[in-house]
C-alpha cells in the first residue's frame, strides 16, 4: 500500500466514523451490493447501473406472471391451466430468488403470497379434474351392458388416478376405493345374475 493509498484509506475510515456518528448510512446497492460514500441509489435502493435493468427485468417477470394468472382464470383447458400455473410459480421463484432475497421488494404482488396461492390453486385444479375424469369413466361403466365393459371402463378410471399420481404425486385413496367397490359390486351382481339364470335352465 502506498502512502497515498494509506492516506486515502484513513480518510475513508474517518469519513465512515463521522457518518456513523451522525447516523448517516453509507449507500449500498441492493442488487450488486456495491457501496460507497458517493454512490447514489434510487428509491428502490439501486445504483445507477442496476436501477434500469432491474426495473425492466422486474416489469417483464411481473407481466408474464399477471398474464399467466389471467389465463389460469379464463382458460377452460386443464393442461393449459396447469402449464400456466407452473410458469407463474416459476416466475414467483425468480422474483424471490433474484430480487426479494436482496430486499428489492418494491413491486406488487408479493411473490411469497402469490406462490402459496398458486400452489393451492394447482392442488384444487388437479382434484377437480380427476373427479371429472373418473366420473366420466364410471358413468360409462354404469351404462355398460356387460360386466367386461363395466370393468374396462373402471380400469380406465384407475388409470387416470395412476397417471395423476405419476404426474402430480396426487393420491386419493377414497376415490380409488370407491372405484374398486364399484368393480366388486359389478362382479358380484353379474355372478348373482348368472347363478339365477342357470338355476332355471
Ligand atoms: Zn448496483
The alpha carbon of 41 and the centre of ligand 1 are apart by a number of angstroms equal to: 8
SS3 48: helix
* Assigned C-alpha cell, 64: 408474464
Distance of alpha carbon 165 from alpha carbon 50, whole angstroms = 44
**Maximum Cα–Cα distance across the chain:** 117
Q: State pLDDT tens for residues 114-165.
A: 999 999 999 999 999 999 999 999 999 999 999 999 999 999 999 999 999 9
Distance of alpha carbon 64 from alpha carbon 106, whole angstroms = 17
Q: What is the pLDDT of residue 180?
A: 96
Q: What is the pLDDT of residue 24?
A: 67
The alpha carbon of 1 and the centre of ligand 1 are apart by a number of angstroms equal to: 27
Q: State pLDDT tens for residues 34-49.
A: 998 889 999 889 999 9
The alpha carbon of 54 and the centre of ligand 1 are apart by a number of angstroms equal to: 9
Domain spans, the chain: 20-109, 126-195
| Residue 75 DSSP class | -
* Assigned C-alpha cell, 119: 400452489
Which residues keep their CB under 5 angstroms from ion ligand 1?
Answer: 29, 31-32, 47, 50
| Residue 96 DSSP class | I
Question: pLDDT band for position 196 (50/70/90)?
Answer: confident
Residue 27: φ, ψ to 5°: -70, 140
The answer to whether the CB of 154 falls within 8 A of the CB of 175 is: no
Instruction: Compute the CA torsion angle 38, 42, 47, 50 (nearest 10 deg).
Output: -170
Q: State pLDDT tens for residues 47-69.
A: 999 999 999 999 999 999 999 99
Instruction: Tell me the C-alpha to C-alpha distance, in Å, between residue 165 and each of 79, 82, 161.
Output: 16, 15, 6
- Return mean pLDDT, the chain: 91
How far the first Cα of the chain sits from its last, in Å, is 112
Helices and strands: H and E segment counts in the chain: 6, 2
The alpha carbon of 104 and the centre of ligand 1 are apart by a number of angstroms equal to: 12
Residue of 164, 161, 168, 171 lying closest to 86 (CA atoms):
168
The alpha carbon of 31 and the centre of ligand 1 are apart by a number of angstroms equal to: 5
Amino acid at each position: 500500500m502506498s502512502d497515498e493509498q494509506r492516506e486515502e484509506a484513513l480518510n475513508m475510515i474517518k469519513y465512515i466514523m463521522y457518518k456513523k456518528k451522525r447516523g448517516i448510512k453509507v449507500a449500498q446497492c441492493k442488487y450488486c451490493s456495491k457501496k460507497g460514500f458517493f454512490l447514489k441509489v434510487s428509491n428502490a435502493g439501486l445504483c445507477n447501473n442496476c436501477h434500469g435493468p432491474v426495473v425492466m427485468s422486474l416489469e417483464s417477470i411481473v407481466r408474464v406472471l399477471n398474464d399467466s394468472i389471467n389465463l389460469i382464470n379464463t382458460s377452460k383447458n386443464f393442461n393449459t391451466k396447469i402449464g400456466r400455473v407452473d410458469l407463474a410459480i416459476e416466475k414467483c421463484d425468480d422474483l424471490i430468488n433474484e430480487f426479494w432475497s436482496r430486499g428489492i421488494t418494491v413491486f406488487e404482488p408479493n411473490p411469497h403470497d402469490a406462490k402459496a396461492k398458486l400452489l393451492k390453486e394447482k392442488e384444487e385444479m388437479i382434484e377437480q379434474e380427476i373427479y371429472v375424469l373418473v366420473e366420466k369413466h364410471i358413468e360409462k361403466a354404469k351404462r355398460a351392458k356387460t360386466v367386461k365393459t363395466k370393468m374396462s371402463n373402471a380400469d380406465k378410471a384407475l388409470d387416470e388416478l395412476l397417471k395423476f399420481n405419476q404426474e402430480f404425486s396426487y393420491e386419493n385413496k377414497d376415490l380409488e376405493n370407491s372405484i374398486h367397490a364399484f368393480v366388486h359390486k359389478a362382479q358380484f351382481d353379474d355372478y348373482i345374475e348368472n347363478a339365477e339364470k342357470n338355476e332355471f335352465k
